[in-house]
């Protein structure tokens, strides 16, 4: 692949990554559509027991609603897929699965802590697990796409 093409891909990836961070910030902290209460009515909420909320949403998916269950379980995974996918494109030093896992966990921990401190959500260890899984799956998607790109490029050369 030509250097100019790589630069264009990296430039577009920076723009998409910035948009992703803005959307993530909006949905995690500002969106009123996800059970946010007025500031005066907010309380500190947290769950420190691994898999408790995952199990609860799965077991009571009919009562809670399939959409709410999907939003909680798959939404946390899907929300961090772009993080794991774009970082390796933005820099070669991020082409390490362990590093992506650690950075995904760190970003998730920062998000959950901000939600707890500012009472805009619930600090949930299950969200840490699901968000980190999303970052890892995003990285695996990058590895697959990069491998396919290399196979196609090698056939053309």
Gap between the Cα atoms of 23 and 30, Å rounded: 10
Place of tokens 């077991």: 59
Summarize pLDDT for 85-124 with one digit per residue, the tens.
999 999 999 999 999 999 999 999 999 999 999 888 889 9
Q: What is the pTM of this model?
A: 0.89
Number of H helices, E strands in the chain: 6, 2
What local confidence, expressed as pLDDT, does residue 156 receive? 72
């Amino acid at each position: 692949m030509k250097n100019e093409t790589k630069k264009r891909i990296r430039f577009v990836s920076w723009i998409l990554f910035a948009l992703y961070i803005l959307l993530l910030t909006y949905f995690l902290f500002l969106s009123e559509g996800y059970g946010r209460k007025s500031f005066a009515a907010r309380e500190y909420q947290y769950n420190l027991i691994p898999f408790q909320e995952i199990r609860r949403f799965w077991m009571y998916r009919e009562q809670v609603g399939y959409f709410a269950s999907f939003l909680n379980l798959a939404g946390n995974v899907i929300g961090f897929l772009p993080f794991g996918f774009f970082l390796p494109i933005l820099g070669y030093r991020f082409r390490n699965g362990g590093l992506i896992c650690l950075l995904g966990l760190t970003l998730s921990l920062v998000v959950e802590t901000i939600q707890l401190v500012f009472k805009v959500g619930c600090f949930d260890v299950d969200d840490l697990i699901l968000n980190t899984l999303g970052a890892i799956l995003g990285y695996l998607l990058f590895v697959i796409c990069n491998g396919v790109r290399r196979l196609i490029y090698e056939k053309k050369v």
